[in-house]
Amino acid sequence: MIKHIVCFKLKEGESVDKAVEVLKSMEGKVPSALKIEVGKDFLHSARSYDIILQVTINSREELDVYQKDEYHCSVVKKHMHAVVQSSVAVDYDI
């Protein structure tokens, strides 16, 4: 099993709630994503990111399938690339 984690810092003025909604919309639409968790930062410190996405995936091969999934690319990545200032990611075996 793989855990795919991405933290997003949005551009000034972008809606955190809308981005969370878009990320959560993958549930049931991206078959390789077994579990999707999305959280909003409440601390808002200088080093905080706005949103965390945690996706559980079966294997490294399925991670590649997830990255190329049509819905993930055409809806989620498209929106997030438009609103994100920066992001960091970690992928690891669980």
CATH of the domain at 23: 3.30.70.100
Residues 6+ apart with CB under 8 A from 91: 2, 3, 4, 5, 63
Q: Look up the pTM and report it.
A: 0.94
pLDDT of residue 31: 97
CA 10 to chain centre: 12
Number of domains comprising the chain: 1
pLDDT of residue 75: 97
Chain segment 36-86, per-residue pLDDT in tens: 999 999 999 999 999 999 999 999 999 999 999 999 999 999 999 999 999
pLDDT of residue 36: 98
CA 13 to chain centre: 19
pLDDT of residue 14: 98
H/E stretch holding 18 reads: helix 16-24
**Whole domain around residue 12: which residue ranges?**
2-93
φ, ψ dihedrals at 44, nearest 5°: 55, 40
